[in-house]
Amino acid sequence: MKVRAGVWGVGAWGEKHARVYHDLYGRGVDVELVGVFDERADRAAAVALAHGVRAFETPDALLAGCDAISVAVPTIAHRAATERALSAGCHVLVEKPMAVTVVEADSMIATAERAGRLLQVGQVERFNPALLAARPHVREAKFIEGHRLALFQPRSLDIDVVSDLMIHDIDAVLQFVGSAPEHVSAVGVAVLSPNEDIANARLEWANGCVANLTASRVSQERLRRIRFFTSETYVSVDLFEKTGELVRVDLETVRRLIGMARAAGIGGSGDASGVPAGPIASLPGITRSSLDVAPGEPLRLELEAFVRSIRGGGEGAASAWAGREALRVAEAVRDSMKRRAVQWSTT
């Protein structure tokens, strides 16, 4: 039996959910797009017409006909819509950020547990093929650097850039490191909206790992890049282009060459050790290659995983607890930004 899916909220991103559900059905995946609901009836009608489904007049009417719901309403309404859908017996994929606060997220999780339904979070970057290709090569990261820059768009202005953009990279580093940071510090600046539009955060773990994350939604260019440094590898991922580069280090060879340089007294411009100067990837013992990135649209991969998990075939999208943890760290970043702003105002 096919999973009957609906989309609650069909703005720019919710419409993509509707499109992907419709396409998955056409590709033989066990899911059928039943219909959509949006507070703007004309918008719901247009999206429904484009995909040959029904535009429901009320959310309850949509929920009554569905097994699963994508919640893509504004963040401030996530909790109410998600809990309403769960209580109606639907499995839910709620878009990121999961909620406005951790307290709201806890309430949503409790509602899912009472209803006996799945609650997952749309941390879609987890399904970026380039990030998936990088995962096997990143073990015990020592330093992580992320840049997520976007052009200004008059949407999502009800939340700051941390919840709007940086939360993708927060979720990624939590997934790769495997634990929460012990210390968070951050700065942020509001430029074109009432909330912070540019932010930089430093996350520090007990094992010495550090992540430096920068996000901006008022940039002159689009950039989504994350770099991982371990003792043996350097992995650079371009999330926008869906490409990646792997630099692998043969520690034994490199340490031997460094030892030779030291023994020869190389400390300036000398070259008696035979170690060539230049880009690190050109040194002996260091190999450089492109990541083998499989094709695929992240949202399609995410919704496929969501549907499979409903049918008992996998872990699905990001769990509610993972979404909560990303939100908790985002809150810590936001709190640090506010404290820093207060410090600046009193100096």
pLDDT for res 151: 87
End-to-end CA distance of the chain: 64
- pLDDT the model gives residue 272: 45
In a domain, 30, yes or no: yes
Tokens representing 55 are: 């535009």
Last residue of a domain, one of 88, 122, 156: 122
Q: Note the pLDDT tens digit of each residue in 202-247.
A: 999 999 999 999 999 998 889 999 999 998 899 999 999 999 999 9
Q: What is the rounded distance in angstroms from the CA atom of residue 190 to the CA atom of residue 160?
A: 9
- Examine the pLDDT at 250 and tell me if it is beyond 90: no
Could you tell me the two tokens for 137? 């090569």
Same domain, yes or no, for 159 and 291? yes
The answer to whether the beta carbons of residues 115 and 86 sit under 8 Å apart is yes
Q: What is the model's pLDDT at position 283? A: 61
Using one digit for the tens of pLDDT, what is the confidence trace for 147-177? 999 988 776 666 789 998 999 999 999 999 9
Q: Considering the domain boundaries, does residue 314 fall inside one? A: no
How buried is residue 277: exposed, middle or buried, by Cβ count under 10 Å (0-12/13-18/19+)? exposed
Mean pLDDT value across residues 274-286: 58
Q: State residue 28's pLDDT score.
A: 81
Going from the C-alpha of 296 to that of each of 147, 167, 269, 293, the distances in angstroms are 22, 22, 48, 9
pLDDT digits (tens, 9 = 90+) for 85-105: 999 999 999 999 999 999 999
Burial class (CB in 10 A: 0-12, 13-18, 19+), 272: exposed
> Do 236 and 154 reside in the same domain of the chain?
yes
> Does residue 23 lie in a domain region?
yes
Instruction: Please check whether residue 100 lies inside any domain of the structure.
Output: yes
Give the pLDDT confidence score for residue 287 in this predicted structure: 86
278 band by pLDDT with thresholds 50, 70 and 90: low
Q: Is the pLDDT of residue 282 over 90?
A: no
Please report how many Cα atoms fall inside a 13 Å half-sphere around the Cα of residue 64, on the Cβ side: 6
Is residue 317 a part of any domain in this protein? no
Q: Which of 38-52, 149-163, 254-268, 294-308 has the lowest mean pLDDT?
A: 254-268
Residues 11 and 148 in one domain: no
Number of domains present in the structure of the chain: 2
- Do 81 and 198 belong to one domain? no
**Mean pLDDT of all residues belonging to the chain:** 90
Q: How confident is the model at residue 327 (pLDDT cuts 50, 70, 90)?
A: very high
Q: Which tokens hold the place of 120? A: 């997952």
Residue 282 DSSP class: G
d(Cα 63, Cα 30) in Å, to the nearest integer? 19
Q: Based on the domain organization, do 111 and 223 belong to the same domain?
A: no
pLDDT the model gives residue 95: 97
Confidence band for 266, pLDDT divided at 50, 70 and 90: low
Residue 71's domain comprises 3-122
| C-alpha torsion 100→115→8→321, nearest 10 | 40
pLDDT at 192: 82
Residue 257 resides in a domain: no
Establish if 261 belongs to a structural domain. no
- CATH number of the domain encompassing residue 53: 3.40.50.720
Per-residue pLDDT, 270: 46
Is 92 in the same domain as 145? no
Query: Which has the closest alpha carbon to 53: 76, 21, 24?
Result: 21
Tens digit of each residue's pLDDT (9 = 90 or more) over 62-93: 999 999 999 999 999 999 999 999 999 999 99
Backbone angles phi, psi at 173, to 5 degrees: -70, -35
Q: Is residue 57 part of a domain?
A: yes
Q: Which residue type sits at 43?
A: R
DSSP 164: I
- φ/ψ (deg, to 5) at 73: -80, 170
Kindly state whether residues 66 and 152 are assigned to the same domain: no
Same domain membership, residue 12 and residue 133: no
Which residue among 122, 153, 185 closes a domain?
Answer: 122
Q: Are residues 116 and 204 in the same domain?
A: no
259 pLDDT more than 50: yes
- Are 217 and 204 spatial neighbours (Cβ–Cβ below 8 Å)? no
CB within 8 Å of 219: residues ≥ 6 apart: 149, 150, 151
Mean pLDDT of 40-52: 97
Q: State whether 336 and 196 are in the same domain.
A: yes
- The pLDDT, as a whole number, for residue 159 is 79
pLDDT, position 281: 53
pLDDT, tens digit, for every residue of 169-201? 999 999 999 999 999 999 999 888 888 899 999
Per the CB < 8 A criterion, the answer to whether 169 and 155 are in contact is no
Task: Give all strands (DSSP E) within the chain, no chain letters.
Answer: 3-8, 31-37, 54-55, 68-71, 91-95, 119-122, 143-149, 183-189, 198-204, 210-216, 223-229, 233-238, 243-249, 286-290, 318-319
| Distance set, CA 239 to CA 1, 133, 168, 174 (Å) | 35, 11, 11, 17
What's the CATH code of the domain at 168?
3.30.360.10
Shared-domain flag, residues 105 and 91 = yes
3-state secondary structure (DSSP) of residue 31: strand
The verdict on pTM exceeding 0.85 is yes
Domain co-membership, 232 together with 145: yes
Q: End of a domain among 105, 122, 139? A: 122
